[in-house]
Amino acid sequence: MAITKSTTSVTLQERTYRIEISVPYGQDPDIYAYRANAWIDDKSALIQEQPIEALVHRKASAIQAQQFTAAGVTVTGAQLYALLAAVADTWAQEDAQTPPA
């Protein structure tokens, strides 16, 4: 027997929980997005997250001209890859000067 002490609204969302980019020298880079089910309560707090088998995969060459918009900014796949490469290079230079804590 169970006693119900309270009731809350729960929303199930499918979301990306990890993105991986593979950039082998001289080859077409790959981007992988790993998906998960997330149960969110009515206060936007995570109750539970469970990875699912929905792996999203694209080759860089396949999305070069595709446009993506977020936060009011639109970029192409080629611009996105260039930006991520610049971020990684900047972080590598920063870490070489001052290793992260």
* Per-residue pLDDT tens digits for 37-73: 999 998 999 999 999 987 999 999 999 999 999 999 9
Count of domains observed in the chain: 2
Same domain, 18 and 31: yes
Same domain, 46 and 16: yes
Give the chain's mean pLDDT: 92
Q: Is the dihedral of CA 85, 90, 91, 97 positive or negative?
A: positive
Q: What is the pLDDT of residue 2?
A: 77
**SS in 3 state form for the chain?**
CCCCCCCCCEEEEEEEEEEEEECCCCCCCEEEEEEEEEEEECCCCEEEEEEEEEEEEEEHHHHCCCEEEECCEEEEHHHHHHHHHHHHHHHHHHHHHCCCC
- 23: in domain: yes
Residue 98: domain span: 64-101
Same domain, 18 and 56: yes
Reported pTM: 0.73
- 49: in domain: yes
Same domain, 68 and 56: no
- 37: in domain: yes
One-letter amino acid for residue 47 of the chain: I
Greater model confidence, 7 or 42: 42
Across the range 70-78, mean pLDDT stands at 96
Q: How far apart are CA 101 and CA 87, in angstroms?
A: 19
Same domain, 39 and 56: yes
Same domain, 27 and 53: yes
- 2: in domain: no
